Amino acid sequence: MVRHYREMMVMSNRLDDGTWFTEVCEEGGSAFSLQIREKLHDETSDYQHIEIYSTSHYGNLMVIDGFVMLTALDNFLYHEMMAHPALFAHPDPRRVVIIGGGDCGTLREVLRHSSVEQVTQVEIDERVTRLSERYFPELCESNGDPRVRFHFGDGIRWMKDTAAGSIDVIIVDSTDPIGPAKGLFTEAFYRDCHLALGDAGIVVQQSESPLYHYDSIIRPMHTAMRGAGFGDSVSLQFPQPCYPSGWWTATMAGKGDIRRFREADACHKSFATRYYNADIHQAALAQPPFFDID
């Protein structure tokens, strides 16, 4: 999912007396806590420290480098909004690439679209995927789909080496712009995405909280995407209780008109969703007055 690195946001994350896991967001002057039943797993991979907990109300919790990555209870909000708006905004999405997304929740949502012929997921840490298969099997139920190609490696390098015009939709289900993920938030990376995308191509990337990160992440992301050649960009809003502020965004850029979508297809989609629908899609496009990108 997201948020492997949050040194700039969080100064003190801890398990209080073995009962509560608390993530403190210093720059927002806020914190989020989950009541813990037990620790299920603890390991350090080649890239990061991964912990899995059982919680009292949120189901299983994945923590990476001390920071909340996802919970069983509320991840559907994020995964549906990372996948469906972009796929319904594209006129005919067949070839999709997911950069990151090791928990496979976004992959599952992409594969619900019958038009999709191939999905390549490029995740740097294979252990995130293997642990998700064990502790979040509902997110990985489509991992055996013959349309899926897994590549465990550097997403920046993979995108740079991708053939021009070979992708319809790119979903950057990335970590924060810190450490190895910093390069995923640059104009150079978006330029590689622009080259790899076909004529109606769309890229969408998680873009943090508009309450805390509008000036530091969201605005610069729009500038970089448009500087890379994308004609338009828009930040979609949705709730995400387990992340700082509880208010999250995914920023979408495209070569065509990304503010119009296949509304009839979204209204009559052949699969069930828990949050996304055509009205939610339309509402997410509405921008608060302080979103002064244009």
Per-residue pLDDT reduced to its tens digit, 6-29? 444 444 566 666 799 999 988 889
> 92 by DSSP, 3-state: which?
coil
β-partners of residue 169 are: 96, 202
pLDDT value at residue 280: 98
For the chain, give every residue range classified as CATH 3.40.50.150.
Answer: 75-285
Would the CA dihedral through 289, 290, 291, 292 be positive or negative?
positive
Exactly one of 125, 173, 176, 192 is catalytic; which is it? 173
Percent of the chain with pLDDT over 70: 92
Which range is least confidently modeled, 11-15, 33-37, 233-237, 287-291? 11-15
Homologous superfamily of the 75-285 domain (CATH): Vaccinia Virus protein VP39 (3.40.50.150)
CA 145 to chain centre: 21
Structural element, H or E, at residue 211: helix 210-213
Per-residue pLDDT reduced to its tens digit, 107-162? 999 999 999 999 999 999 999 999 999 999 999 999 999 999 999 999 999 999 99
For tokens 């990304």, what's the residue?
Answer: 258
The C-alpha atoms of residue 197 and residue 201 are separated, in whole angstroms, by 5
For tokens 């005919």, what's the residue?
Answer: 92
Per-residue pLDDT reduced to its tens digit, 85-115? 999 999 999 999 999 999 999 999 999 999 9
* The two three-digit tokens of residue 105, written as one number: 């929740």
Which candidate, 111, 123, 129, places its Cα nearest to that of 151? Answer: 123
The C-alpha atoms of residue 8 and residue 23 are separated, in whole angstroms, by 13
CB atoms within 10 A of CB 95: 20
> In the annotation, is 16 catalytic?
no
The C-alpha atoms of residue 234 and residue 231 are separated, in whole angstroms, by 11
pLDDT value at residue 4: 42
* The two three-digit tokens of residue 208, written as one number: 């943090």
**CA distances from residue 16 to 22, 44, 65 in whole angstroms, order as listed:** 7, 21, 17
Upper half-sphere CA count for residue 68 (Cβ side, 13 Å): 31
pTM of the predicted model over 0.85 = yes
For the chain, give every residue range classified as CATH 2.30.140.10.
Answer: 12-71
Per-residue pLDDT reduced to its tens digit, 25-51? 888 899 999 999 999 999 999 999 999
Q: How much is the CA Rg of the chain, to the nearest whole Å?
A: 18
Structural element, H or E, at residue 191: helix 187-196
Percent of the chain with pLDDT over 90: 85
DSSP letters for 8-41 = TT-SEEEEETTTEEEEEEGGGTEEEEEEEEEEEE
For tokens 């769309």, what's the residue?
Answer: 202
Is the separation of the CB atoms in 119 and 107 below 8 Å? yes
Q: What is the mean pLDDT of the chain?
A: 92
Residue 165, pLDDT above cutoff 90: yes
Please state which CATH class domain 12-71 belongs to.
mainly beta
* The two three-digit tokens of residue 123, written as one number: 């995740």
The C-alpha atoms of residue 235 and residue 82 are separated, in whole angstroms, by 11
